Amino acid sequence: MEITDAVRKAAKTFETPFLIMDLDIVEQNYRKLQNAIPGCKIFYAVKANSHVRILERLRNLGSNFDVASIGEIKKLLELGVTPDRMIFANPMKREKDIAEAYRIGLRLFVADCPMELEKIAENAPGSQIVVRVAVENKHSDWPLSRKFGTDMLTAVDLLGYAQKLRLKPVGVSFHVGSQNYNPKSWSNAIENVAKIFYWVERNFGIELSILDIGGGIPVKHLKPIPTVEEIGQTVLQAVNEYLPNVRNLTIFAEPGRSMVGDAGILVSRVILRCQRGSEEWVYLDAGVFHGLMETIENFRYELVVEGKEEEKKMPFVLAGPTCDSVDKIYDDAMLPYNITLDDIVYFINAGAYTVEYGTNFNGIPSPKVYFVQDLT
Amino acid sequence: MEITDAVRKAAKTFETPFLIMDLDIVEQNYRKLQNAIPGCKIFYAVKANSHVRILERLRNLGSNFDVASIGEIKKLLELGVTPDRMIFANPMKREKDIAEAYRIGLRLFVADCPMELEKIAENAPGSQIVVRVAVENKHSDWPLSRKFGTDMLTAVDLLGYAQKLRLKPVGVSFHVGSQNYNPKSWSNAIENVAKIFYWVERNFGIELSILDIGGGIPVKHLKPIPTVEEIGQTVLQAVNEYLPNVRNLTIFAEPGRSMVGDAGILVSRVILRCQRGSEEWVYLDAGVFHGLMETIENFRYELVVEGKEEEKKMPFVLAGPTCDSVDKIYDDAMLPYNITLDDIVYFINAGAYTVEYGTNFNGIPSPKVYFVQDLT
């Protein structure tokens, strides 16, 4: 997202820190993915940014939703999203959440181990099951595979077990890891998942029809990224090559970051600059516990300092406003040499996984969210 | 804190996860520190646990408060705590927070660099200043020294600069790091701080009267800890030895963790157990974003599984309930071999820095807080 005049004006007007978002960019992102993979059913991963305005815009576009908890399900229901537009994709659901989701009418669940299937069979009998497999994550910023997903052999066992539990095994999902830079990650995954499709048909008579390609489409930060068109092309080619004979195949996608990441800018302010030993420190009113949680894993945002875009840069330690040593953003942020008190610092493309992790730590509230659509 | 029958009953009754606290233990901790360092002015570090009930109990005991933001100040004001019982100890304050605090009547501020002094001089003219120095943190679980505190030479400059800015330099503070295991950390710090006291008196005619020994008193987890009496003894000896001639010396302490840590137990529940490759995973309804943020830095709690205290233990990967790979509590938690769905897991002595970091991530609310005083 560009730092438009409206954004600059907001930075001067509103109390910092805040996230400013553009709903039209969210819409563009949705349409781009829809065009890149025609017929694909998009389930927006609500956890990336659950602001009501974003959910409403995507609802109006016909989006479906990937939900992680009963809290997200209820929020969507209140917005008029029907349960048939949701996939309960968290592989570790509370039993009472499963039961409540089922009561509401949700029938599509993800599982990646036997106990989860048993929980679903008990609390949501007869529901549809997508089994999640772990795939290569090495080209992503956040490899997920250890915590989530099962191996291919266990996957076929789970699909068979689902059937035995009188659930309806309908598909396989995978996640190439958040912020994945290599389209081949998707085609390699599809090649493997295709083997599962054919194996369970041949051996169990299970006809799967859902290929869930998860999320992982990257947002532009400092490194070059493939376009969504390139990723879509790769996915379609892989589907044609490895799954040519599947009847009624539907591709699901669960994008989170790529729907909202580049639709937002986190606007913060310098509250202190000082020398500590040989280091120059800059402290902001945003920090790890106030919008920038992802930086503790060294996630790199593009930083712009208002009015000092052309100044010579030097390295600073950049930290947040709390009395907590963990609240350090970067050890080596390149910032204008003359950055000082009250300067505005923009974190570009920070629409995903920022305010969602917000805390009230140190009595400091989480950043507010504004929309450029509301600015005059 | 012991797992009493009342706690076990609460675990069976209330929806997990939740933090259960005992206000009487908070009171005991306050009195113990007061007795260990007679005449010491205790400023409870609100950020450790800002629950109103805890603040009220400490208020009634006559405690003072270490505040990190205008949010904490206003919360205390609403509870009838007057501003003369507060120290604004965050070394990186927003200017408008300083101004607002001053307007309210707060007159005691901490600073550790020139710009912070200038901000205070501008927004809170004539206020009292405590300068924070960085001291050895090596015996603590959370070394703080890089983000906070200045060196001894800069400290005397700052005390002189404060005077020049028509502020009132009144003392020096240090923090030995959170959860410090060695009482000598305090005496070594006091030895150094004493040199600052005498130097500024001799050279600038500044008579300091506040020795602020910060926090860092440890809470019992897996490692043995010194008692608060041992730490108090060490502090008093050091004061007698290194600061024998200071008129009207007052010792300040800013305990957070040691007031509330062992006054709480985080109660969680197993929502899934599964094998992943060669690893056994257990997933809880509490996690990094729901009460256990400190575990991402490998902070080690004692874990107890209800009803399985005597079972043989084996290593598990322990993770939280969100769709986020960062939400992993421990790679190698020793838990009963037969731990399973719905088992209750207690995190012992989790009263500090747990719910304070709570988020609503994944649509999952932060753990609730209960008090044993309210159970029947």
Query: What residue of A is the nearest CA neighbor of B286?
Result: A94
Strands in chain B per DSSP E: 18-21, 41-45, 64-67, 86-88, 108-111, 128-134, 140-142, 168-175, 178-180, 210-212, 250-253, 264-276, 279-284, 303-305, 313-319, 328-336, 344-348, 368-371
pLDDT digits (tens, 9 = 90+) for A70-111: 999 999 999 999 999 999 999 999 999 999 999 999 999 999
Cβ atoms of residues B219 and B25 within 8 Å: no
* pLDDT of the residue at B245: 82
| % of chain A surpassing 90 pLDDT | 94
Chain A residues near residue B322 by CB distance under 8 angstroms:
47, 68, 90
Of A198, A230, A255, at which residue does a domain stop?
A255
Instruction: Report the gap between the CA of A310 and the closest CA in chain B (Å).
Output: 25
Q: Same domain, yes or no, for A195 and A305?
A: no
Query: What residue of B is the nearest CA neighbor of A355?
Result: B361
Chain B residues near residue A95 by CB distance under 8 angstroms:
271, 341-342
* pLDDT of the residue at B140: 80
- CB pair distance less than 8 Å for A148 and B285: no
- CB pair distance less than 8 Å for A147 and B281: yes
- Which has the higher per-residue pLDDT, B362 or A178? B362
pLDDT digits (tens, 9 = 90+) for A104-154: 999 999 999 999 999 999 999 999 999 999 998 877 877 665 889 999 999
Q: Within a domain: residue A43? A: no
For residues A186-204, one letter each, b for 16 or more C-beta atoms within 10 angstroms of the residue's C-beta and e for the rest, the string is bbbbbebbbebbebbeeeb
Instruction: Say whether B323 is catalytic.
Output: yes
Query: What residue of A is the nearest CA neighbor of B134?
Result: A276
CATH number of the domain at A332, please: 2.40.37.10
For an interface test with B, which of A55, A76, A92, A141 has the most B Cβ atoms less than 10 Å from its Cβ? Answer: A92
Residue A81 domain boundaries: 50-255
* pLDDT of the residue at B136: 82
Q: Same domain, yes or no, for A305 and A186?
A: no
Mean pLDDT, residues A208-226? 96
Query: What residue of B is the nearest CA neighbor of A155?
Result: B276
* pLDDT of the residue at B243: 96
Chain A residues near residue B296 by CB distance under 8 angstroms:
296
What gap in Å lies between CA A205 and CA A209, rounded to an integer? 13
Q: Within a domain: residue B313? A: yes
What gap in Å lies between CA A25 and CA A12, rounded to an integer? 23
| % of chain B surpassing 70 pLDDT | 99
Q: Same domain, yes or no, for B149 and B248?
A: yes
Q: Same domain, yes or no, for A169 and A104?
A: yes
- CB pair distance less than 8 Å for B326 and A297: yes
pLDDT digits (tens, 9 = 90+) for A167-181: 999 999 999 988 999
Instruction: Report the gap between the CA of B359 and the closest CA in chain A (Å).
Output: 5
- CB pair distance less than 8 Å for B142 and A317: no
- The ipTM assigned to this model is 0.95
Q: Same domain, yes or no, for B152 and B89?
A: yes
- Give the pLDDT band of residue A314 (cuts 50, 70, 90): very high
CB-nearest to B363 from A50, A144, A323 is A50
Q: Same domain, yes or no, for B236 and B116?
A: yes
Chain A residues near residue B361 by CB distance under 8 angstroms:
47, 356-357
CATH number of the domain at A246, please: 3.20.20.10
- CB pair distance less than 8 Å for A321 and B92: yes
Q: Same domain, yes or no, for A222 and A271?
A: no
Chain A residues near residue B119 by CB distance under 8 angstroms:
272, 341
> Could you tell me the two tokens for B52?
């109103």
pLDDT digits (tens, 9 = 90+) for B132-146: 999 988 778 777 658
For A64-124, where are the alpha helices, taking DSSP H only? 70-78, 95-104, 114-123
CB-nearest to A92 from B272, B275, B363 is B272
Mean pLDDT, chain B, whole residue set? 96
The dihedral through the CA atoms of A207, A210, A216, A217 has a sign that is positive
Of A217, A234, A255, at which residue does a domain stop?
A255
* pLDDT of the residue at A137: 80
pLDDT digits (tens, 9 = 90+) for A247-266: 899 999 999 999 999 999 99
Q: Same domain, yes or no, for B230 and B303?
A: no
Q: Within a domain: residue B136? A: yes
In the predicted model, is pLDDT for residue B297 greater than 90?
Answer: no
- Give the pLDDT band of residue B247 (cuts 50, 70, 90): confident
* pLDDT of the residue at B107: 98
Q: Same domain, yes or no, for B240 and B327?
A: no
Q: Within a domain: residue B279? A: yes
- CB pair distance less than 8 Å for B271 and A92: yes
Nearest CA to B32 among B284, B219, B304, B302? B219
* pLDDT of the residue at A144: 63
Q: Within a domain: residue B36? A: no
What gap in Å lies between CA A41 and CA A249, rounded to an integer? 11
Cβ atoms of residues A115 and A139 within 8 Å: no
Which amino acid does the sequence have at B125? P
- Give the pLDDT band of residue B259 (cuts 50, 70, 90): very high
Q: Within a domain: residue B196? A: yes
Query: What residue of B is the nearest CA neighbor of A276?
Result: B150
Cβ atoms of residues B109 and B129 within 8 Å: yes
What gap in Å lies between CA B293 and CA B353, rounded to an integer? 8
Query: What residue of B is the nearest CA neighbor of A288?
Result: B357
Q: Within a domain: residue A18? A: no
B303-305 and B279-284: which strand pairing?
A: unpaired
- CB pair distance less than 8 Å for B321 and A50: no
- CB pair distance less than 8 Å for A151 and B341: no
For an interface test with A, which of B325, B340, B357 has the most A Cβ atoms less than 10 Å from its Cβ? Answer: B325
Q: Same domain, yes or no, for A241 and A315?
A: no
> Could you tell me the two tokens for B144?
């703080």
For residues A79-100, one letter each, b for 16 or more C-beta atoms within 10 angstroms of the residue's C-beta and e for the rest, the string is eebebebbbbbbbbbbbebbbb
Chain B residues near residue A273 by CB distance under 8 angstroms:
115
- 3-state SS string for B240-288: HHHCCCCCCCEEEECCCHHHHHHHEEEEEEEEEEEEECCEEEEEECCEC
* pLDDT of the residue at A79: 98
pLDDT digits (tens, 9 = 90+) for B21-69: 999 999 999 999 999 999 999 999 999 999 999 999 999 999 999 999 9
Q: Within a domain: residue B17? A: no
SS3 label, residue A31: helix
pLDDT digits (tens, 9 = 90+) for B70-79: 999 999 999 9
In the predicted model, is pLDDT for residue A335 greater than 70?
Answer: yes
Angle at A325 between CA B368 and CA B58, to 5 degrees: 45
In the predicted model, is pLDDT for residue B167 greater than 80?
Answer: yes
Q: Same domain, yes or no, for B152 and B84?
A: yes
* pLDDT of the residue at B310: 97
DSSP notation for A188-231? HHHHHHHHHHHHHHHHH-----EEE--------SSS----HHHH
| A268 bridge partner residues | A345
Domain count across chain A = 2
For an interface test with B, which of A131, A154, A323 has the most B Cβ atoms less than 10 Å from its Cβ? Answer: A323
Chain B residues near residue A274 by CB distance under 8 angstroms:
112-116
* pLDDT of the residue at B12: 95
* pLDDT of the residue at A297: 87
- CB pair distance less than 8 Å for A94 and B296: no
Size of interface A-B (CB pairs under 8 A): 181
- CB pair distance less than 8 Å for B363 and A67: yes
How many residues make up chain B in this entry? Answer: 376
Q: Same domain, yes or no, for B224 and B309?
A: no
Catalytic residue among A40, A113, A274, A323: A323
Of B236, B255, B274, at which residue does a domain stop?
B255
With tokens 């800059």, the residue in question is A282
pLDDT digits (tens, 9 = 90+) for B314-344: 999 999 999 999 999 999 999 999 999 999 9
Instruction: Report the gap between the CA of A75 and the closest CA in chain B (Å).
Output: 9
